[in-house]
Amino acid sequence: MIIGLCYDLRDDYLKMGYTEEETAEFDRISTVEAIEKELVDMGFETRRIGHVKSLTEKLVSGERWDMVFNICEGLHGSGREAQVPALLDAYRIPYVFSGPLVMVITLDKALAKLVIKDAGINTPQHLVIYDLNDLERNHLDYPLFAKPLAEGTGKGITPQSVINGKTQLKLVCKELLEKYKQPVLVETFLSGREFTAGIVGTGDDAKCVGVMEIILNHKAEQQVYSYTNKEECEERVKYILAPEEDTRKCAQLALQVWKAINAEDGGRVDIRYDENNIPHFLEINPLAGLHPEHSDLPILARLNGIEYPQLMKMIMESALKKLNHR
């Protein structure tokens, strides 16, 4: 079975002139090599495809694969994470991870929250700011939290994201609107502990492979799992296996979220407690990083006794099971 590999390499985009922050979600070559090694060890043949434009060129030239392992984040547009799966759907080529509908909904954090709220799952109250006039509609109590609507890897998140008053809210929203050229998600700030839960599988087969608590040390920007904290996580962040009761609560919430969104094969759900230790949904990542040592999903799986080869095998087993249904 031939597996094509779709990915965005950070180094490629840096050479094109994009900044470190603009390319923060993209992968290093060692991630692609690690994925490829595991696929080969499982008995698959692999072909490197690259980013969406390379995929387009190869499809037009007639190249085909039995399945594509897709970790492309995309660069432009609200549907950037949906571009590769949508293109593969058009050519009826199966792929690993979620389809375009899930990718669009989860990239738009407000849309994801609406789905989650409709499912009866806790998530902070929110408001979407398209321009500064929308601040007049703010009915939320301070403190608040502001971040770009459709970014990842902590982009746009700094200590100033925790907002305590009207003037600060206007200033932060103005800066985010101008810098990221997209709406701003404003939501009630949760003051409790932060966790991320790893999920593998699809539908009723989905299961939690571990819950990890994110602890900021004295070198970190406090209160926020920011872009800088994530980029320098080795010096600023400690990851620990969540205590048993927290694991139970977070795993239950994460699985509810995963099934409500209809996510597939593997990913992460980010969770934060309020002041009463009640877990709330923050975000879902259906394209979680897969570097064996530096990415959250492999780290939390390993803390839970699941090594990288086993994690990859579980993801592929889920993807292969979908072959007759897509």
Going residue by residue through the chain, which has 326 residues, state the pLDDT in tens, using 9 for 90 and above: 999 999 999 998 888 898 888 888 899 999 999 999 999 999 999 999 999 999 999 999 999 999 999 999 998 888 999 999 999 999 999 999 999 999 999 999 999 999 999 999 999 999 999 999 999 999 999 999 999 999 987 889 999 999 999 999 999 999 999 999 999 999 999 999 999 999 999 999 999 999 999 999 988 888 888 888 788 888 999 999 999 999 999 999 999 999 999 999 999 999 999 999 999 999 999 999 999 998 999 999 999 999 999 999 999 999 999 986 66
**Domain-embedded: residue 103:** no
Choose the final residue of a domain: 170, 188, 206.
188
Where do the DSSP E strands lie in 217-321?
237-241, 266-273, 279-285
Looking at the structure, do residues 166 and 229 belong to the same domain, yes or no? no
**Domain-embedded: residue 114:** no
pTM of the predicted model, to two decimals? 0.94
Q: How many CB atoms lie within 10 A of CB 270?
A: 20
| Element of type H or E holding 10 | helix 10-15
**Domain-embedded: residue 118:** no
**Domain-embedded: residue 184:** yes
Looking at the structure, do residues 195 and 175 belong to the same domain, yes or no? no
Looking at the structure, do residues 221 and 317 belong to the same domain, yes or no? yes
> How many structural domains compose the chain?
3
Per the structure, the complete domain to which residue 25 belongs is given by 2-96
Looking at the structure, do residues 17 and 83 belong to the same domain, yes or no? yes
Looking at the structure, do residues 140 and 199 belong to the same domain, yes or no? no
**Domain-embedded: residue 210:** yes
The amino acid at residue 14 is L
Length in residues, the chain: 326
Helix pair angle (52-60, 83-90), 10° resolution: 10
Looking at the structure, do residues 282 and 213 belong to the same domain, yes or no? yes
Q: How many CB atoms lie within 10 A of CB 75?
A: 17
CA distance 326 to 8: 25
Looking at the structure, do residues 209 and 294 belong to the same domain, yes or no? yes
